[in-house]
Each structure stands twice: as C-alpha cells, then as structure tokens.
Chain A
C-alpha cells in the first residue's frame, strides 16, 4: 500500500515574471562609424563626430559622423554616378534580384538587427523582433517583385525613375522607415542618399554593411549621418531629383518652403493626432486591446498613434474602467527584457516635450490617471498615462504629444464622432470599432484620414498604402501607390 503523502495546496500565487533579457552579444558594435558613400565607409570630410546613446541606460554606444556640406555633396555625386552608369540602366529583373537578396539577408540577421534597434532607440525587443524586423524584410520582398513589373502598376504609365532620391527618416522606426524609403525608390530604378535620425543612426549603418554584402553596386545606396543641418543640406542639394521626408510637421513645412520653385519632387509623411472611435456595440475587450496598442505601442512614438479616444457616452465609464485595469498589466522597463511592453522614451528632448504637454493637460483641467509603476533610475521613461474629461480645445487634444499619453473624450452620435474626429489640421489615420458593417463603411467614407482601421489598429503591410490628408503630409508609401512618388511623368 503506497504512502499517501500529503502536500499542502499552494496559496494564491502573486506571480512575478523573472527578467528574461535578450543578450546583446549578437551585435558587433564599432566604437566609431564612417559614412557609407559609394560602397565604402569613409571618414567625414567635416572631421566631426557625435555620440549616440542607449536611451534606457544613457550609456554611449558609439560615435557616428556628422556629415557636412562636402560630405553630402560627395554622397549625392556618388548616387548620381551610380544612377547614370549602373542602376538606372540595369534591367528591372536584375534590380529585383538585389532586393530579394537584401530581403533574405535581413531575415537571416533579424535578431541581431532587432537587438541593435532596441539598444539605439529604446523600443521593446519584442516589438523590434516581432514587428519592425519582419516588416523590414517584407518591404524589400514586396518591392523587389515590382522592379520588373512597373509597366503593370499603372495603365498608360511608361515607367522611368527620377534619378537621385534624398531621403530623411525619423527615429521612431529607424530600420523600418529605411525600408519604406529605400525599397520603392530602388525598385523603381532610383539611387538614394539617406539620412537616419540623429538619435538612431546605427541600424542604417549596419544595413549598409548588409547591402554591401548583397553585392549592391557602389553608390546605389548611400547612408550619411547627422542632424538637422545635414538633412537640410541634403534636401537642398541641386543634384537631388526627389526628396522624401518623414518627421514632424514643422520640419516638413520648412522643407516644403525650401523646395519651392526647385522643381524637385517631394513627399512628406508628417504628424498625426488620430481619432480612435469606439461605438457601444464594439467587441469591448478587443477594442481595449486596440486602444492600448494604438497609444502605447512603441511608447506612443507613432505618427498614426490613436491619441484621441472617442468613446460613445453610453459605455464611457465601463470602457474607461477596463482601460485603467488594463494599464496595470503593462510592463514598463528594460527594453531588452523580452517581457517589456513599454520601453524607453527615445531622448531627453522628447521626454521634456511629453512632460510639458502632460503638465499642460493637468493645468487645463483634464483628469490624469497613471498606474503604479516603478521606473528604472537611469534612462528616459514615462508612465503610460490617461486623461479623462478632455475638451477639444485642450492642448492635449490638439497637439501631437508623441508619447504614451491618451486623451479621452466622449460622443453621442456617429455624426458627432465624425465632426470631432475631423476637427484637426492633421489627417493621417483613424480607428473605428463597431459590430455594424455598414457603419464601418460609412465612417470610413466620412473620416478625413489616409488610413482607417476598423476593428483593429496599427496594422501595416508593404502592400497597403500609408500616408496622410491635410497637414499629415502627402504621398503614399506601400502598395502600388507607393511607386508613384519614385517614377516620372505623373506631374506631382
């Protein structure tokens, strides 16, 4: 007869997840980088460098060049030569194969690039690994297939590239933005000079190495690092035929005025203050996830973030309760921990901007809610924040915060929701949650936004065009439409 060992049943478990840190050993960081011009890394003629730090720890990662006017010129000249002599006349099917190769190589080195992206920018490794990097590979793969099919893209179009594209990208999705810019430009037959943001230069430089390994001819892609002045010199350079900029609306306006009369083609992808509309018949728990993703994904450093929440009044309190409860399960902290949901704020400057606007929100009379949160001592952090009792005129309802801060308002009827949603100079994206199909389609028609997400949010695909109305910019990236800005003859 076996012994009946009695062991007590455990008490309710307050389950804390042990840290699960992704190792950084996979990344081979240099101490100092060069500019990638004409197929090689070169020291800047400006002789100037600046540091890039890890915003989660404030540790310096490396030094990168600050490209001056002469460096910019060198890069543009290289791109021009590559266009005139190599790339511009290469058959589409060969261009395609370079891009397919790059896509495959990105897939192979995904983990390394994701870790690097997290270290340089502060986003959670889970997001870099599961969202950013797969989309980078996907963009190259998608546009590779267009390179030799351009004549099918638009009826009557005789596809011709523009020449040299100058591209300036932001710090929120560094490598993904690089892919969004490079892939269509190269597929269409252009060559490129690209400037990554000053706080996140590293993944672009590692990408340059990868492109070189892929055998991409020298000068086809050139990466120059620097800040505002470098970007300014690039877009103004007379050798650049086409400018593409993603960043803040204020800089976008500056570029627009700089380019006036120059004859250069231009596309702009600027800021947003998206309305996220929840009807009473929405699938509520999934809508909560959509709202959370909409504003806290990437710490809210997202141009299409759902930063203005409009909840139908009949479910407002219940919905806000659920939201507050959900906030308590968000894990804020070390971006390299695989369990982190909300990472570091990208820079001290951005943190100051967010802080200022949140203070303004409180002063203007909105009610703030922040869950209990232990933040690391070093680095730049902001607790996920909700504001209720917000009015349309409050700064937190008008200005783009670009941080993990949600402004909540209510509405009674669909017409009211539409009126409030459209009452903004921006028009990048919007979200709608409802059971009713006809209402989704009606709302989609009425909303002045370039991307409408219904019963979902923050979905991206290389085949799906993305871009804004009004002051959120013009031109589309992704899909068939994403080729237009890089081809001649459309008069834009």
Chain B
C-alpha cells in the first residue's frame, strides 16, 4: 500500500506566528492546469488590521538595529532560501514554469537578497551626506526608515516578485505588511517559514494570502501605514491606492520595471532628516 502523505496547512504569517484567518475562510490554490494544490487562508480586513498592528509594534526594534545587524539578517534569509531551493522551485513549477526556469527564479531571488543585504550598512553613506552650508554649522542629512510599509506583491513571478519588493523596504529599516500573489500564494508562505528561521524578529514582516480586490482598499485607507509599494497592483487598484493615500499622505511607489534592483528603491521608503549644530566655542 502506498504511503499517505501528511499534507501541509498553509496559514497566514502575522507577528511571528502562523494563524488561520480570523474569518475562518480559505481558498484553493490552483496549478496551471486548474487542479487544486492546497487551500490557503483567505485573509480578512481584521487579519490585515492585526498585521499592521504587529508591524507597527516592531518598528522601534527593526529601525533600532544597526545596519550591520539588518544586513546579517537579510543575508541569513538568503542562506535559508538557498537551503530550500528545491521546495521553492517545485512550488513555482505549479504555476506552469519548467523546473529549470523555476530554479533560475529562486537563484535570482537569493542573489537579490544578498545584493540588498550588502546595502544595509552602506546605504546612508551614498544617500546621506554632510551639507556644506554657508555658516559655522555642522549640518548632516541622514535617511531614516519611513515606518510601516504595505506591499502588493505582483501576481507573478510569485517568489522573485515579492522579494524584489520586500528587500529594499526591509533594508531601509521599515517593517512590512505584504499581500501575496493571489493565484500563486504558496511560495509566499514558504518564505514566511524561512523568515521564522532566519532570525527575523516577529512582526517585522507579515504576509497575508487573499484577495487584493478585497484587501487593498483597507490597506490603502489605513492611517497607520506610512508607505505603500503598489508595483504589483492591477491598474484599477492603483487608482484606489492613490485615493486612499490622501488621508495620511502615504508615500506610494510603483516601479515601472519590477525586476529593477537599485538603492533608490531603498530611498523610496526613507525620510531624510537634516540636523544642524553650531560649531564654536
């Protein structure tokens, strides 16, 4: 008799824990032939509310870490993804990719994490500076994290798309609430498991699976979300995002080429603080 496998339950990732949706809902994740692969949680606005709360509580901890420490954690995320290349690749093939293409996506994801890891302790050297003001003053500009950043991950590529949005905001010291790809949610939840083993403190990154149409308006309107990466959002949702951002002047960013990696994506979710101090006896 063939052995029955023990199927995984896919849950949300909020505050370092894996709860089901408080709504009790779930939806089927399908493969490229329309077959059901697994059911994943269908997050509600209350789950989103809880995720934002967790992200807010984690802000002082994450922003308070040295760039070196954040860099080490980002590098460890890469180590953990590398350790699970096959798991991720298998999940990506469900979306119709060949195994070779899937592996290539995972490898690019790892390399992207390493790239951003290396920015954490040098970004402010490139994006901050002394200002030579015309007077006896010491004047310095330094980038600080914006705070809680919401991310609408692209529908695909299901892993690389999410990480390309996650890594720069994280490197800049922000905490995150991420709406994963709706059609291909599994890599996002596996990533959440990786984050748990990569020394990422609970609450710094929160990942919800569900319907962007349902959740994006709540994210866009949320007064305690400081920034929003709309790169993965469909056109009609982008407008809704812009409207919602008016209430608390969210910084909204949507990148033309989602595959870009650049320190200016880190800058997009930072605030520049300039400090003056007299020089004299």
Query: Which residues does chain A contribute within 8 Å of B280, judged by CB atoms?
Result: 438-439, 441-442
Q: Interface code B188-221, partner A: CB below 8 Å = 1, 0 otherwise?
A: 0000000000000000000000000000000000
Shortest C-beta distance, A320 to chain B (Å), equals 25
Shortest C-beta distance, B1 to chain A (Å), equals 45
Q: Are B281 and A442 in contact (CB under 8 A)?
A: yes
Residue B71 CB within 8 A of the other chain = yes
Q: Are A463 and B122 in contact (CB under 8 A)?
A: yes
Q: Are B126 and A145 in contact (CB under 8 A)?
A: no
Residue A479 CB within 8 A of the other chain = yes
Residue A67 CB within 8 A of the other chain = no
What is the CA–CA distance of A462 and B120 in the complex, to the nearest angstrom? Answer: 13
A93-B115, A146-B118 given; A479·B125 CB < 8 A: yes
Shortest C-beta distance, B2 to chain A (Å), equals 41
Shortest C-beta distance, B233 to chain A (Å), equals 29
Q: Are A93 and B114 in contact (CB under 8 A)?
A: yes
Which of B111, B120, B121 lies in contact with A93, CB distance below 8 A? B111
Query: Which residues does chain A contribute within 8 Å of B263, judged by CB atoms?
Result: 149, 152
Q: Are B278 and A441 in contact (CB under 8 A)?
A: yes
Shortest C-beta distance, A413 to chain B (Å), equals 9
Q: Interface code A269-290, partner B: CB below 8 Å = 1, 0 otherwise?
A: 0000000000000000000000
Size of B's binding interface in residues, CB under 8 A? 23
What is the CA–CA distance of A480 and B138 in the complex, to the nearest angstrom? Answer: 21
Q: Interface code A398-442, partner B: CB below 8 Å = 1, 0 otherwise?
A: 000000000000000010000000000000000000000111011
Shortest C-beta distance, A91 to chain B (Å), equals 10
Query: Which residues does chain A contribute within 8 Å of B114, judged by CB atoms?
Result: 93, 96-97, 100
Residue B167 CB within 8 A of the other chain = no
A93-B114, A149-B118 given; A445·B125 CB < 8 A: no
Residue A291 CB within 8 A of the other chain = no
Residue A148 CB within 8 A of the other chain = yes
Residue B8 CB within 8 A of the other chain = no
Residue B52 CB within 8 A of the other chain = no
Residue A142 CB within 8 A of the other chain = yes
Shortest C-beta distance, A271 to chain B (Å), equals 28
- In this complex, the member of A93, A438, A444, A479 whose beta carbon has the largest number of chain B beta carbons within 10 angstroms is A438
What is the CA–CA distance of A146 and B114 in the complex, to the nearest angstrom? Answer: 11
Nearest neighbor of B138 in chain A, beta-carbon distance: A441
Q: Are B277 and A441 in contact (CB under 8 A)?
A: yes
What is the CA–CA distance of A244 and B121 in the complex, to the nearest angstrom? Answer: 25
Query: Which residues does chain B contribute within 8 Å of A266, judged by CB atoms?
Result: none
Q: Are A437 and B277 in contact (CB under 8 A)?
A: yes
Residue A138 CB within 8 A of the other chain = yes
Residue A56 CB within 8 A of the other chain = no
Nearest neighbor of B277 in chain A, beta-carbon distance: A437
Chain A, 122-149, CB within 8 A of any chain B CB: 138, 141-142, 144-149
Shortest C-beta distance, A130 to chain B (Å), equals 16
Query: Which residues does chain A contribute within 8 Å of B68, judged by CB atoms?
Result: 138, 141-142, 463
Which of A97, A438, A439, A480 lies in contact with B122, CB distance below 8 A? A480
Q: Are B121 and A463 in contact (CB under 8 A)?
A: yes
What is the CA–CA distance of A462 and B67 in the complex, to the nearest angstrom? Answer: 12
Q: Are B278 and A144 in contact (CB under 8 A)?
A: no
Shortest C-beta distance, B66 to chain A (Å), equals 9
Query: Which residues does chain B contribute within 8 Å of A444, judged by CB atoms?
Result: 279
Q: Are B122 and A142 in contact (CB under 8 A)?
A: yes
What is the CA–CA distance of A152 and B263 in the complex, to the nearest angstrom? Answer: 9
Q: Interface code B218-229, partner A: CB below 8 Å = 1, 0 otherwise?
A: 000000000000
Q: Are A152 and B118 in contact (CB under 8 A)?
A: no
Q: Are A438 and B281 in contact (CB under 8 A)?
A: yes
Query: Which residues does chain B contribute within 8 Å of A152, judged by CB atoms?
Result: 126, 263
What is the CA–CA distance of A78 and B247 in the complex, to the nearest angstrom? Answer: 64
Query: Which residues does chain A contribute within 8 Å of B278, judged by CB atoms?
Result: 437-438, 441
Residue B75 CB within 8 A of the other chain = yes
What is the CA–CA distance of A459 and B121 in the complex, to the nearest angstrom? Answer: 17
Q: Are A146 and B138 in contact (CB under 8 A)?
A: no
Q: Interface code B245-281, partner A: CB below 8 Å = 1, 0 otherwise?
A: 0000000000000000001000000000000011111
A145-B71, A480-B125 given; A442·B117 CB < 8 A: no
What is the CA–CA distance of A136 and B71 in the complex, to the nearest angstrom? Answer: 16
Q: Are B279 and A145 in contact (CB under 8 A)?
A: no
Query: Which residues does chain B contribute within 8 Å of A100, judged by CB atoms?
Result: 75, 114, 117
What is the CA–CA distance of A445 and B75 in the complex, to the nearest angstrom? Answer: 38
Query: Which residues does chain B contribute within 8 Å of A439, judged by CB atoms?
Result: 280-281
Residue B72 CB within 8 A of the other chain = yes
What is the CA–CA distance of A169 and B279 in the complex, to the nearest angstrom? Answer: 37
Nearest neighbor of A436 in chain B, beta-carbon distance: B281
Q: Interface code A93-122, partner B: CB below 8 Å = 1, 0 otherwise?
A: 100110010000000000000000000000
A437-B277, A441-B279, A445-B279 given; A146·B122 CB < 8 A: yes
Shortest C-beta distance, A221 to chain B (Å), equals 20
Q: Are A141 and B72 in contact (CB under 8 A)?
A: yes
Residue B62 CB within 8 A of the other chain = no
A152-B126, A152-B263, A480-B126 given; A145·B119 CB < 8 A: yes
Query: Which residues does chain B contribute within 8 Å of A93, judged by CB atoms?
Result: 111, 114-115
Q: Interface code B40-84, partner A: CB below 8 Å = 1, 0 otherwise?
A: 000000000000000000000000000110011001000000000
Which of A96, A441, A480 lies in contact with B118, CB distance below 8 A? A96
Q: Are A148 and B125 in contact (CB under 8 A)?
A: no
What is the CA–CA distance of A96 and B119 in the complex, to the nearest angstrom? Answer: 12
Chain B, 104-144, CB within 8 A of any chain A CB: 111, 114-115, 117-122, 125-126, 138
Q: Interface code A141-168, partner B: CB below 8 Å = 1, 0 otherwise?
A: 1101111110011000000000000000
Shortest C-beta distance, B57 to chain A (Å), equals 28
Nearest neighbor of B112 in chain A, beta-carbon distance: A93
Nearest neighbor of B278 in chain A, beta-carbon distance: A438
Q: Are A145 and B118 in contact (CB under 8 A)?
A: yes
Nearest neighbor of B76 in chain A, beta-carbon distance: A104
What is the CA–CA distance of A439 and B277 in the complex, to the nearest angstrom? Answer: 10
Shortest C-beta distance, A466 to chain B (Å), equals 15
Q: Are A438 and B118 in contact (CB under 8 A)?
A: no
Query: Which residues does chain A contribute within 8 Å of B277, judged by CB atoms?
Result: 437-438, 441
What is the CA–CA distance of A437 and B138 in the complex, to the nearest angstrom? Answer: 10
What is the CA–CA distance of A144 and B122 in the complex, to the nearest angstrom? Answer: 11
Query: Which residues does chain B contribute within 8 Å of A437, judged by CB atoms?
Result: 277-278
The 5 closest A-B pairs by CB, nearest first: A145-B118, A441-B279, A438-B278, A441-B138, A438-B280
B interface residue numbers (CB < 8 A to A):
67-68, 71-72, 75, 111, 114-115, 117-122, 125-126, 138, 263, 277-281
Given contacts A93-B111, A100-B114, A463-B121, 10 further A-B contacts (CB under 8 A): A97-B114, A145-B118, A145-B120, A148-B118, A149-B263, A152-B126, A438-B281, A441-B279, A463-B67, A463-B125
A interface residue numbers (CB < 8 A to B):
93, 96-97, 100, 138, 141-142, 144-149, 152-153, 414, 437-439, 441-442, 444-445, 462-463, 479-480
Can you list 10 A-B contacts (CB < 8 A)?
A93-B114, A100-B117, A142-B68, A145-B119, A149-B119, A149-B263, A153-B126, A414-B281, A441-B277, A463-B122
